[in-house]
Amino acid sequence: MTEILLDNARLILPGEVIEGHAVLADGVIRDFGPGRLNAPAAIDCAGDYLLPGLVELHTDNLEKHLLPRPGAHWPAAAALFAHDAQLLAAGITTALNAISVGEEDAEEAVDPVAVLAALAQAREDGGLRIDHAVHLRCELPCPDLPERLRPLLDTPELRLLSLMDHTPGQRQFHDLERYRSYSARHGNARDDQQFHARLEHLRQLQRRHADAHRGVVIEMALARGLPLASHDDSDLSHVAEAVEAGACIAEFPVNMATAVAARAAGLLVLAGAPNLVRGGSHSGNVAAADLARAGALDALSSDYVPGSLLLAAFQLGEWASIGLPRAIAMVTRTPARAIGYSDRGEIAAGLRADLLRVRVVRGLPQVEAVWVGGKQRY
């Protein structure tokens, strides 16, 4: 049995920060506690923080590697390795890769079958350094969503399904002018006629398919015991739908009212770490900081910026009303427990040795080392 001794660190525990040490063996945390080990073989952490590896429930980062520019598709295996390296360097040791099923824009869509095949092959080859799982984003208005989704449900790493509806005029795109700007950036709104034709097309798809497909996805989740997430709730009726569906997570609620209602109904409220770091939503939705101040924030997601997760947690950790232990739980233990991971997310004896050594330089947390399952990977 090979031991790894980590000494002279500030351990971020569920309820406190202590100066102490940790002992790793056989891939788990064997022991930890206050004080120095003073053992010759110990790694001196020089007073840096030692905290659990970050747990990410919804990263879109893989899509940026699969499609670095519109229409420029990248080989799935190469994209996956680059993505894995980026998440590792950001301190994310468990990631649910959010893969869209039923994307409307064919030019920007990635093939989920190819992505999942590349993920399975990389895992078999031992080429991945962090623990990758799968989050399937189910676009309800897609005409053939059930047919696309059904063969993907046997993916062994599948941990979460989310109910998506990006139809303009509601949820994320409740502001049509902002949606028009978004569409223009993607070449889908060159003139009024084209924009309104696309708008009507998308709304027709929603009217024809969304309600029926919602029921199908809920049945699929129940049959396999998979947790469900709602997405971009912008109206109290959306929260009611999520509760009726048995969802346990409310991803990126659009406004304060839906966030408060979701949390009151027992859903875990997940907001974007980039939103918190930037001081507001890039799409004009509720600020994550405001949710935190209102006590309506449970967990954070790096969404489209992997490095935002650690930074946002340390920013919240400076708030007297939250503190570092609770802020770190928002990116470790809380998201892990939400989807059934009981073996990681905190520094505790017997749990997986997924750990980060973090140094704060001029107010910015920097990852100095990462252990995944007891192996130093960074």
- Token output for 368: 């100095």
pLDDT in tens, 184-203: 555 555 567 777 777 777 88
Residue 110 pLDDT class (50, 70, 90 cuts): confident
pLDDT score recorded for residue 88: 98
Residue 171 pLDDT class (50, 70, 90 cuts): low
Q: Dihedral of the CA atoms 34, 40, 42, 45 (nearest 10)?
A: 80
pLDDT score recorded for residue 296: 97
Distance CA 74, CA 65 (A): 7
Q: pTM score, two decimals? A: 0.92
H-run or E-run covering 300: strand 299-301
Residue 96 pLDDT class (50, 70, 90 cuts): very high
pLDDT score recorded for residue 199: 77
**CATH numbers and ranges of domains, the chain:** 1-52+346-378 (2.30.40.10), 54-343 (3.20.20.140)
pLDDT score recorded for residue 179: 61
* Distance, CA of 51 to chain centre: 18
pLDDT in tens, 41-93: 999 999 999 999 999 999 999 999 999 887 788 999 999 999 999 999 999 99
Whether 105 has a pLDDT exceeding 70, the answer reads no
pLDDT score recorded for residue 175: 62
Burial class (CB in 10 A: 0-12, 13-18, 19+), 350: exposed
Radius of gyration, CA atoms only, the chain: 21
pLDDT in tens, 144-161: 999 999 999 999 999 999
Residue 123 pLDDT class (50, 70, 90 cuts): very high
Between 191 and 280, the higher pLDDT residue: 280
Whether 333 has a pLDDT exceeding 90, the answer reads yes
